[in-house]
Amino acid sequence: MFHVGQHVIHPGQGVCTVTGFTEDAVHPMILLSAKSGHTETHLMYPLAQQDRLHAVISREDAEDLLGGYADLDVDTFTERNSSLEETHFKQQLKLGAPETVRVAKTMRARISEAEAHGKKPSSYYTRVLKEARRRSVEEFAVALHVDEDAVEERFEQAIAQAAIASN
């Protein structure tokens, strides 16, 4: 069971904070607050489905992921239909880190590969990369107890170090 003030990963929203419970109701709910950009959204999530929520990664796991970014494998899933591929990657985002980081790395690699061959990358790569990056940054900011700008800098450093290591 979660407690008030705990940060959890909501499959559709990403990082949320538990703000309360409605246990006396016919259908008990977990009250959540999600910050998306400059707005805050309040949600009610069925207590019966709490197993679909999970805590954000630990500080140690976040540090390990950043330190081992170069060793993180990209997702090799492919499908002839780009819509099915996009669905696969969006499902991975619901799992939180490390999958959000893997998806972002995969989309960066696919965009770079397409550009290296003189092709225009699929538009879904950019959409999925943006969402994977948002979710990763939010989760790492909570795990590391820093603001999102600091996390962005850490990711940029990890990406640059991975590029150097691969050359």
Euclidean distance between the first and final Cα of the chain, in Å? 46
Q: pLDDT (tens digit, 9 = 90+) per residue, 70-118?
A: 999 999 999 999 999 999 999 999 999 999 999 999 999 999 999 999 9
pLDDT tens per residue across span 126-156: 999 999 999 999 999 999 999 999 999 999 9
Q: pLDDT at position 165, please?
A: 86
Number of alpha carbons in the 13 Å side-chain half-sphere of residue 50: 15
Is the pLDDT reported for residue 37 higher than 70?
no
Task: Provide the whole-model pTM.
Answer: 0.93
Alpha-carbon distance of 157 to 109, in angstroms, equals 16
Query: Which class is 59-166 in CATH?
Result: mainly alpha
Half-sphere exposure of 19 (CA within 13 A, CB side): 13
